[in-house]
Amino acid sequence: MARQFFVGGNFKMNGTKESVKKIIGYLNDSDLPAQVEVVIAPPALYLGLAVEVNTQKTVAIAAQNVFDKDAGAFTGEICPAQVKDLGATWTLTGHSERRTIIKESDEFVANKTKFALEQGLSVILCIGETLEERKAGITLDVCARQLDAASKIISDWTNIVVAYEPVWAIGTGLAATPDDAQETHKAIRAHLATTIGEKQAAEVRILYGGSVNGKNAKEFKDKADVDGFLVGGASLKPEFVDIIKSRL
């Protein structure tokens, strides 16, 4: 089935008011394809600014993370209601840096995903293996475990986009080959078919998130189960537009 091409841009802990306005201004001034869904995730401090300056109808704003509870005594966290209050409509959950550096568990990521959905946000759910796990040959076991934590408590995946991030390829300049990515994405979809049903699995978009840039994005164009990209550093540069247009 035809799944809408999706490109996410994760600014991570980068940017100032001036640079965020400059990045989004470049998107505003670009001729973006109407058939591509784009979601950008600036630091939480600049969510409101991003919403205000974005004029592209095909571009939405995401938080990089949310908490799994509503407003309350949770210092340093942000809840989905606050993200929505600023006009953002998406959030990331389970990014590899939060799993590996902040030590978020699969269950915690799943709970945050479920709560964000219940509060009306759409979610980019990130999964993926470390270099050690890849060398051990357990890539699919790791991805299945991370997905299963979510599928145990979430039945409707309509508003979830899955981002497969080979952790070893993030920020290293390394990247899985398009064939490697396709093989892993196909296996991820097959596993989802066993947990959330074949129909939902066929409809879920699966993004590749390992050091994609303007030069290599087109190499993934014909891969049936690669439905787009979750981009890190390249989303801060003009080449982000080239990635958005890579499926054309």
Q: Which fold has domain 6-244?
A: TIM Barrel (3.20.20)
For residue 233, pLDDT over 70 is answered with: yes
Per-residue confidence (pLDDT) for residue 210, from 0 to 100: 81
Listed in sequence order, the residues at least 6 apart from 126 whose beta carbon sits closer than 8 Å to its beta carbon are 92, 93, 94, 95, 96, 99, 162, 163, 165, 209, 230
Residue 95 dihedral angles phi and psi, to the nearest 5°:
-55, 145
Q: What is the pLDDT of residues 132-154, one digit of tens each?
A: 898 899 999 999 999 999 999 99
Per-residue confidence (pLDDT) for residue 1, from 0 to 100: 58
Q: At what angle do helices 106-118 and 139-151 cross, to 10 degrees?
A: 40
Per-residue confidence (pLDDT) for residue 172, from 0 to 100: 66
Q: Domain map of the chain by residue range?
A: 6-244
Per-residue confidence (pLDDT) for residue 212, from 0 to 100: 87
Please check whether residue 70 is in contact with residue 49, taking contact to mean a CB–CB distance below 8 angstroms. Answer: no
Q: What is the pLDDT of residues 69-116, one digit of tens each?
A: 999 999 999 999 999 999 999 999 999 999 999 999 999 999 999 999
pTM of the predicted protein model: 0.96
The catalytically annotated residue of 37, 97, 129, 165 is 165
Residue 26 — very low, low, confident or very high, per pLDDT cuts 50/70/90?
Answer: very high
Please check whether residue 130 is in contact with residue 103, taking contact to mean a CB–CB distance below 8 angstroms. Answer: no
Which candidate, 167, 6, 175, places its Cα nearest to that of 98?
Answer: 167
Which candidate, 170, 44, 160, places its Cα nearest to that of 100?
Answer: 170
Please check whether residue 36 is in contact with residue 244, taking contact to mean a CB–CB distance below 8 angstroms. Answer: yes
Q: What is the pLDDT of residues 39-50, one digit of tens each?
A: 999 999 999 999
203 is catalytic: no
Q: How many CB atoms are closer than 10 A to CB 67? A: 19
Per-residue confidence (pLDDT) for residue 39, from 0 to 100: 98
165 is catalytic: yes
Q: What is the pLDDT of residues 156-188, one digit of tens each?
A: 999 999 999 988 776 666 667 899 999 999 999
For residue 36, pLDDT over 70 is answered with: yes
Residue 169 dihedral angles phi and psi, to the nearest 5°:
-105, 0
The catalytically annotated residue of 95, 97, 129, 191 is 95
Cα distance between residue 212 and residue 232, in whole Å: 8
Please check whether residue 146 is in contact with residue 164, taking contact to mean a CB–CB distance below 8 angstroms. Answer: no
Q: What is the pLDDT of residues 103-136, one digit of tens each?
A: 999 999 999 999 999 999 999 999 999 888 988 9
